[in-house]
Amino acid sequence: MTTALRITSALARSPRLTENEVFELFFFQSHQDCDLTQRDSRTVGTMKKIQTLLVDLDGTLVDSVEYQVQVKFIGSFLLYWRKRGFGWSGLKVLQCIKRALESPPSRLTNAQKVTQALETEFSIPEAEAHSALFDFSQGIFPSLEKHFYPVPGALEFIHWAFQHYPLILATNPVWSPEIVEMRVKWAGLSIDHFKSVTNIHRMSSCKPRKEYYQELLHQENLNPKNCLMIGNDLKQDGPAVKTGMKVFILSRENRCVRKGPLLWSGNFSALQRALQKGEFR
């Protein structure tokens, strides 16, 4: 356990703060530039070189007009399930899916957890639930494309990083491979930029659970000390530090700013410069 996590765990014993709240507070108040020349030479010598980049998708490579997407998606979801004879109880179906995806990891994939939950709660046969969810997502997502756009700087960074590192698309695994690939294209990228991609059929837990990152590291046979997780959301991507991974959270700053022992922030240009200089070693 890192010093930061020991402090987080200890402070979280306070009834007023959760562990996640303390975690966020600690890292965001520890502002320090990524300047290894100011670090103790013995510490630098024990640090590991970054060998693999794990990259988030939503908000990191592709973004959207969120309220427009939510209105369109939820409205279409309710209508779809109404046509299947559920009246206006589609919202309960959506809540059931959300609970299943947020449940603790098990031997089931996220897709299996969802279909089994629908079978248990609504008596929908598992195969029928799987088919319905696939048909809905394939039908709705193409109509959402106009609300999505590439994140500035992401395309250029991925093209550069692809030449220097193995890239893993560590997106929240709530969609099928087809939907993930569709959204990658909306970012102006190809799924071929990534050696591996998380999806609903592969993973058994979701962000922000630590188990999501542990499972991914195990599947890819990666040493967390040699990995850098790149994302835009501290609460979703930040928990990767609990596995020993380094984390870079995107911000508007055109410099690499150290937020904690394993946490940095900045824009894509700052990230590329830091990687070129070996500042995450």
Beta carbons of 151 and 62 less than 8 angstroms apart: yes
Instruction: Parse the chain into domains and list their residue ranges.
Output: 1-30, 32-61+151-277, 66-145
The whole-angstrom separation of Cα 72 and Cα 174 is 18
Question: Token pair for residue 103?
Answer: 């449940």
What's the pLDDT tens digit per position in 136-163? Answer: 999 999 999 999 999 999 999 999 999 9
Instruction: Give CA–CA dist 191/200, Å, rounded.
Output: 16
- How does strand 167-169 pair with strand 52-55? parallel
For 56-170, list the strands marked E by DSSP.
62-64, 148-150, 167-169
Instruction: Give the CATH superfamily of 32-61+151-277.
Output: HAD superfamily/HAD-like (3.40.50.1000)
pTM of the shown model: 0.83
Provide the pLDDT for residue 48: 52
Planar angle of CA 110, 137, 155, nearest 5 degrees: 85
Residue range 234-264, pLDDT digits in tens: 999 999 999 999 999 999 999 999 999 999 9
pLDDT tens-digit series, residues 23-35: 444 444 443 344 3
pLDDT above 60: residue 127 = yes
Cβ neighbours of residue 281 closer than 8 Å, sequence gap 6 or more: 36, 44, 47, 48, 49, 50
Give the CA count within 13 Å in the CB-facing half-sphere of 273.
Answer: 13
